[in-house]
Amino acid sequence: MSLIKAKNMMEIFNGNDVPDDGQRYWVVGPKQWSDLLSVDQFSRVEYVGPQDLPFPGGITAKRWMGFLFFVHSGLSKPSSDRKTLCFHKSAIGAGIGADVRTEVNYIPEKVSHLITSMLSLGAVEIDGDAARVQLCAE
């Protein structure tokens, strides 16, 4: 992960007329997060101000170059490159088939309660111009 990759993604999103309304997100892996911490423009107060430093309330997320960066360790790594995800909130849709349903049953043979919860949902990409995959070497 580098400054050049962040600038290129910002140019792509701006070129595709993706709104810069604070709802752009970039999911990165732990290695990419540590790479970003070595980029001065990402981590120094002279560039981002004291309110946008990477660790104001922990290592949860940081807003930079129009994206809210956050770490997720479950991103796929098909080769030596990790797939990071950039998207706008409106580019992803979620459909709920069945809302959350919870059942509590008493099982006398076990002298205990069995609690089960169920739901049905799915997700889909709505706008391909506002959702991108960026490969980053590890």
**Predicted structure pTM score:** 0.77
Mean pLDDT, rounded, for 109-126: 95
Task: Give the confidence band of 51 by pLDDT, cuts at 50, 70, 90.
Answer: low
Percent of the chain predicted with pLDDT > 90:
66
Residues 96, 120 contacting (CB under 8 angstroms): yes
Collapse the DSSP code of 60 into the 3-class scheme (helix H, G, I; strand E, B; otherwise coil) and give the result: coil
Mean pLDDT, rounded, for 115-124: 95
CA–CA distance, 28 with 38 (Å, rounded to integer): 15
CB atoms within 10 A of CB 54: 18
Task: Give the confidence band of 46 by pLDDT, cuts at 50, 70, 90.
Answer: confident
Residue 28 carries which DSSP code? E
Map out the domains of the chain as residue ranges: 3-92+126-137
CA–CA distance, 99 with 81 (Å, rounded to integer): 37
